[in-house]
Every structure is written in C-alpha cells, then in structure tokens.
Amino acid sequence: MANKSYDAIVIGGGPGGYPCAIRLGQLKQKVVCIEKAELGGVCLNWGCIPSKALIAAAHLYDKMGHASEIGIMGAGKPSIDAPKMQEWKGGIVKKLVGGVRGLLKANGAELIAGTATVTGPNTVEVVTAEGTKETLEAKSIVIATGSSTIEIPTFKFDGKTIIGAKEAVSLTTIPKRLLVIGGGVIGLELGCVYQHFGAELTVVEAMPTLLPGTDADCTAVVERAITKRGAKIYKNAKALGYERAANGALNVKIDVAGKTETIETDVVLVAVGMRPNSKGVGLEAAGVKIDARGFVPTDTYGRTNVPSIYAIGDVSGPPLLAHKATKEGEIIAEVIAGHKAAKDWVTIPGAIFTDPEIAAAGMTVEQAKEKGIEVKVGKMPFSASGRAMAVRETDGFVKTVIDAKTHQLLGVHIVGPNASDLISEAALGLEMAAFAEDVSMTIHPHPTLGEAMGVSAAHALGHAIDILNK
C-alpha cells in the first residue's frame, strides 16, 4: 500500500525535472519531485552555469591581458586566484539552486531528497536521504534522470589528473599542460577556458573534424583561433592509455593514422560525451522500452510505451541540451494536466561557448540539400562590423541559409562574439516561418552585433549594403 498519492511524480530535479514539477504545481496538480543528488542537476551544479562562469572569467582575463593595445595602460598581465574564482562560481550555483528550491515550494511542488525506483506503471519506491523507505503512487510518472559523463576504461578518473567535466569546473590550480580527449562541445569549451588561463592545450579527437555535426565553416573559425593561441590538435586520433612519470607528469599515448605518439601533460580531461541515466531506475521492470543506446523513446507527447510513464530531457534522447529538457518538462506538465500540448517546435537552437562562440538554428546547407532543397546562402563577416571592431572580436560571421525559390529561412549559423545571444532571433524567425525579406527588412539598431543578422539575410537575397554581393 502506498504511503502517499499524487497526480504526478517527477524523478530528477535537473533542468527538465524541476521546471516540469513547477509547471505541474502551477496547473494545480499534486506533484512531488525526487532528486537523489544535487537539485538543479548537472546544468546548475557542474555543467551549464559553472562552466559559463569560468568562461566569462577567462574571457575577461584575456581582455585584460591585451588592454594596453587599446591605450589602457598600467594594467599589466593579471594573475589568477583559482580558489577565489571557485568561491565566486560556487556562490552563483548556491544562489540559483536556492532559487529553484524556493520556486518549487512557492508553486506547491513537494521535494524529496532520495533515490527513486519505478516499481510499476503508477508506483515509485523512494529511499530517502535519511534512510527511510516509502512507496508513492501517481496517475503519471515523469523520468527526468538526465545523463552522466562517459568514462574511458584506459583513463579512469582519479579526480586530480584524470578528470571529467565535473572536476574540470572545480580546479583550484591551473594546469600548466592540459590534454583533452574529445574535440566536442565540452572538451573545447573547457579547453578554451584553461588555454586562456595559460595552460598549453592539446586536443585529441577520434573523428576527422572537431565539433562533429556543427557547420564546418563555423568549426574552422574556432579551430584557427585555438591553434593561433598555441593549441595542438590531433584529428583522426585515439588516446590509447598513459603512464605516470616519476615527476608526476602523464605520458599519454595516442594513435594518429596508425602511428603511435607520446604526449607529456599534467592533466587529462576526458570529454567524450554523456550517457543517459536510464539504468537502475526500474524502467525495465515496469515495461518501459530502452533503446540500444540507453535512451528512452517517447512520442510527441513525451509518453513512453507505458502510457502513464513519460520521459524528458537527456534520458529521452538527443540533443542533450538543458533548454530542450526545460521545454519538454513544461509541455509534458501541460499534457499530464489535460491541456492541449505537444512537442511541435521547428528548431532547437544550440550554442557552443568556445572562443569564439558558435550558435545554430535550423538546417545546414548540407542538410537542406539532402532534403532536395535548392538553397541560397548569405554571409556577413564580423570583420566588416563596426561594433565587432570596437569590441575587438572580429573573427567569424553570420551565415543565413534560405530556400532559393521561396526565400524562406531554413537555417542560421553564427560563429563570433555573442553568438549564443544572437541566435534567438534566428530561432524565432524559423518558428514563425519567416522569409529572408522579413529579416533583412527588420530595422536592426546600429551599431550592434545583431545588425549582422539583417545583412546576412540581405546578402542571401543579393542586395546587402555593408558587404559586396555575389
């Protein structure tokens, strides 16, 4: 017999779970959110927020080091107090997690610290942090258990010299040499941070390109930037293992096109991706299907093959993005409460906080052509932007992909300053089925980085004013 009954039980308090629970509370549903580790999940505690705090600090540090180039004299080369930086970062996390806790309570959502196991289509067993055991029942159960860092057997984490992203955002000493295994989003974001802080950066990527799946022109800009700053990049390469030298250094062996090389480093960051947390939750026993990669398939309403059980966020499949999880959480809350809702978006924008940043929404040129669509492409380089010159960040561009016949917006790809902020206009345009004319005719304030969006659209149409048309 169940100890308590609810309208909905949400398992996981990350960026998918807590918004789902909050929205359910707003919709007057009796809801409980169960979190076994840290409220806020990966995103708030050691993912999105902490990494962006360090990225901002690294960007400022780099700017300060070049202040004399624009006539600001006397600053010299700044120094880093890593423990104090971690204290500052921790304060941001604490404030945000406290805010989430307050919002759950204010919206009538109960929070339990404990480990949840699904025991049936409508029941969940919880072992609380205090060690007590409870059985809860609900009309609906939402799985929002997220994902975890993948560990390589030959590079077992030790928390100090062989680390994952969680440890990488918590370093109290800046490594002199950092080797990153994996040239994806996490590896390059954190690699850029420590490169700016003075670490010699080496990146080992198994694929032929960095940032697989990202617009190749955008990736090339980032690769040139980090290489110019001294990074060594090995593509089509695999990290085989390592030996620890007498002086504490790590001698990492890599295979590059069949040849073995040894790279000496101080810290290895393993950033080869994330794995869905679908095991050990009781899903199999409840009859929920899990695919070969460990993801939980869902329909357009977020339902699994068991109608009373839903899945959202990373555990339900790519893209593994916090904002995708949040939107799914809100939608599934509406569905559970009996409202008309479904996952019917046109695009999920993505942002990569390298230096320079990359952001994208919609299709690449290649994806459009695969669908048989003839395209036109416009491009506005930041090197021609007065605002970009003023802030001394002229690497990159805005690329606009449109249907050659109808001029409908198909995709926008940005690499350069504030790309993560600029992409929202593109996402709105795609959701509203905008045409290139809509974007180019919209008056963008001057002088701003956002002007590049309008110029890029005009360039696709062949009548840009600020740059030469094709």
Catalytically active residues are 446
SS3 of 174, please?
A: coil
Question: Token pair for residue 328?
Answer: 């799914």
Q: How far is CA 285 from CA 11, 133, 213, 282, in A?
A: 16, 19, 35, 5
Helix extents (H) in 66-160:
82-106
Q: How far is CA 93 from CA 57, 79, 194, 327, in A?
A: 15, 24, 20, 21
Phi-psi category of residue 309: left, alpha or beta, with phi > 0 → left and psi -120 to 50 → alpha: beta
CA separation for the pair 236, 302 (Å, rounded):
37
Nearest to 458 by CA among 402, 419, 411: 402
Amino acid at 7: D
Side chain identity, residue 467: I
Distance between CA atoms of residues 170 and 85, nearest Å: 9
Measured in whole angstroms, the distance separating CA 284 from the mean position of its chain's CA atoms is 28
H helical segments located in 185-278: 185-196, 216-228
Q: What is the DSSP string of 384-433?
A: G-HHHHHTT----EEEEEEETTT-BEEEEEEEETTHHHHHHHHHHHHHTT
Strands in 225-308 per DSSP E: 232-234, 237-244, 250-256, 259-265, 267-270, 274-276
Q: Measured between alpha carbons, how far is 45 from 271 in angstroms, rounded to an integer?
A: 17
Query: Which residues contact residue 409 at a Cβ distance below 8 angstroms, ignoring those fewer than 6 apart?
Result: 362, 400, 401, 402, 426, 429, 430, 433, 434, 435, 436, 438, 439, 457
> How far is C-alpha 55 from the geometric centre of its chain's CA atoms?
13
Q: Name the CA dihedral angle for 189, 191, 195, 198, rounded to a multiple of 10 degrees.
A: 120
Q: Which residue, chain included where needed, has tokens 């000496």?
A: 264
Neighbours of 26 (CB within 10 A): 16
Which helix H or strand E contains 326, and what residues bound it? helix 322-336
Strand 237-244's sheet: what is its strand order? Answer: 237-244, 250-256, 259-265
